[in-house]
Chain A
Amino acid sequence: MEIKRIQTPLDDSAIEKLKAGEKVFLNGFIFTARDSAHKRFFEALDKGEELPFDMRNQIIYYCGPSPAPPGKAIGSCGPTTSGRMDAYAPRLIALGLKGMIGKGKRSQAVKDSLKQHKAVYFGATGGAGALLAKCIVSSEIVAYEDLGPEGVVKLGVKDLPLFVINDMYGNDLYEAGIGKYRR
C-alpha cells in the first residue's frame, strides 16, 4: 500500500492532509509518556508549573519499552493501550499537542478534541516492538527518570510505520474497518 512520509513538528497543514486508514512513515522526534507520566503532567499543570516539554506541534507515544540491551538505543518498544490516557488527552491537545501514538479505541471526548484543535491519533502495531525499535535512532530521558519504563523519553525516529486511526475530520479507522468486513 501507499506510504506517506511526514516530519515532526506537525503543523495544521500537515494534519489537514492526513486521513484515517493511511499508512505513514514518521520522521523526527517524539516523546514517550504513559500512565504515571500523564498523572505528573496534570499535577504540574494544576500547580501552574511548566511541563517537561512544550506540547505545541509535538507527538506523544504511549509506550513503556523493555530495557535497552548493550549497544542499542532502546529495547522492544511497541504501543500500550491508549484508552487509559483518554482522561488526560483533551487538555494536552488544547495545549497544542498534535499527535498521539498508541493502540486501541479513543473516547468521544478525545475524538472531539482532534476535530476542534486539528490533531490526529496514530496506531503503531501492537506487539511489533522489535520492528518499531529498529526505527528509533536516538533516545534521551527528559523527565521522571525515577518512573523507570514510564519516564518521559525523547526519541529520534526514522520511518516509524504508523496508521492514521482518527483524523481531524471525525473519521475512525476502527469503525470504518469493522463496517466494511463484518459479515
Chain B
Amino acid sequence: MREIHTDSIVSAVENLFIDANINLSQGVFDALSQAIEKEESPVGKEVIRELINNANIAKAERMPICQDTGLAVTFVEVGQDVHVVGGGLAEAIAEGVRRAYKNGYLRKSCCDPFSRKNTGDNTPPIIHTHIVPGDRIKIVALPKGGGSENYGEVRMLVPSQGKEGVKAFVLDMVTKGGPNPCPPIIVGVGIGGNFETSALLSKEALMVPIGQRNPDPATAAFELEMLDAINRTGIGPQGYGGTMTALDVHIKMLPCHIASLPAAVNIQCHAHRIKEVVI
C-alpha cells in the first residue's frame, strides 16, 4: 500500500484548475493554428486569429482564457494499491477547487438550480472516480463552461436507426447550438452502454487529444464522416459562417442492450481547457 496524503491532492487540484483556465494546452493551440489555414471565410479566419491572440494574452497576463471558468469537472483514476490519508478524497478535491477559484481569480459559476443562489466557491466539483491497477492517482481537470454544456443531450435511439440515426442526432445538436457553444467546437459522442453510461462516454470522448482517431478503423472512419458533415453546415467560427465549425469529433463506444441504441452528445467550446497530473 502506498500512502498519499490529502494535502498533496489539494495542492495538485488547485494548480490544475488554475493552469487549465489560464494556459491553453498546446494541442488545442496547434489545432486553432491549423484551422486558420483551413478556414475559407475571411471573417472566420479573423475570429480564429482573435482566439490565438487571446490564448497568448491569457498566458502572458495570467488571465483566464474565458470568463466562464466552468463547473469543476474531474476524472480521477485511483490505483487500488493507494491508501489516501489525512481525510477524504472527495473533500480534498473540493478543497483544491475552492482554493483554485479563489486564489486564481476564477469566476464562481455554481448555483442552486431554482433559487440561483451562488454556492460562493465553485463547489461542489463533479467527480468521476475509476479504480485502476497500480499505486498512483491520476487526476484530469476539465473546467467546463455553460454555453457549450447546454447543447448536450442523451437520446435512446431505436436499434434500426443505426449509424444514420446517430449522425442525424449529432448534426441536429450542432445545428441547434449554432453560434452559442462558441465554435469551432469539439464534439464528444457516446454510443452504447446504457442511459447514464452513454452520457459519461460522450464527456470522456472530449478528453481524447484533437486529431487522435478511435483505434477501431470503422469507428475512426465514422468520426471523420461526422466531422466532414459538421463542417459542411456552414456555421463556422463563432457562427459567422465558414468551413471550420468543429476541430474534431471523438466517439467512445460500448456494447449495449439488444433492445437499445443509447447515444449522447457533449459539445466543448474552442476554449477546451484540460490538464492532468499523476501523483
Contacts and interface: CB of A to CB of B under 8 A. Distances in A.
Query: Chain A, interface size: which category?
Result: 35 or more
A126 B64 contact: no
A68 B46 CA distance: 27
Interface in A53-96: 63-69, 72, 75-78, 80-81, 83
Nearest to A79: B67
B91 interface: no
Contacts of A80: 68, 147
A30 B84 CA distance: 51
Interface stretch (A41-49, A107-115, A173-181): A173-181
B65 A129 contact: yes
A163 B232 contact: no
Contact of A134 (B57, B69, B236, B270): B57
A127 B271 contact: yes
A23 B67 contact: no
B61 interface: yes
Contacts of B65: 76, 127, 129-130
A1 B179 contact: no
B188 interface: no
Interface in A130-160: 130-131, 133-134, 148-149
B182 A63 contact: no
A76 B63 contact: yes
A45 B257 CA distance: 57
A174 B179 contact: yes
Contacts of B236: 177-178, 181
A97 to B, nearest CB: 22
A132 to B, nearest CB: 8
B80 interface: no
A144 to B, nearest CB: 14
B270 A163 contact: no
A126 B235 contact: no
Interface string A163-183: 101000000011011111111
B147 A81 contact: yes
Interface string B51-91: 10111011001111111110000000000000000000000
B58 A81 contact: no
Given A23-B46, A183-B234, A68 B105 contact: yes
B233 A178 contact: yes
Contacts of B58: 76, 129-130
A9 interface: no
B178 interface: yes
A66 B64 contact: yes
Contact of A129 (B66, B238, B270): B66
B51 A81 contact: no
B147 A126 contact: yes
B107 A75 contact: yes
B225 interface: no
17 contacts: A1-B46, A67-B105, A67-B107, A69-B105, A75-B105, A76-B65, A80-B147, A105-B239, A123-B240, A125-B47, A125-B51, A127-B269, A127-B270, A149-B107, A178-B235, A180-B41, A182-B232
Interface of B: 40-43, 46-47, 50-51, 53-55, 57-58, 61-69, 105-107, 118, 145, 147, 178-180, 182, 232-236, 238-243, 269-271
Given A66-B64, A149-B107, 11 more contacts: A65-B107, A76-B65, A78-B68, A123-B238, A128-B54, A130-B55, A131-B50, A161-B50, A173-B241, A178-B234, A181-B40
Interface of A: 1, 21, 23, 63-69, 72, 75-78, 80-81, 83, 103-105, 123, 125-131, 133-134, 148-149, 161, 163, 165, 173-174, 176-183
Closest 4 CB pairs of A and B: A177-B241, A182-B234, A130-B58, A181-B234
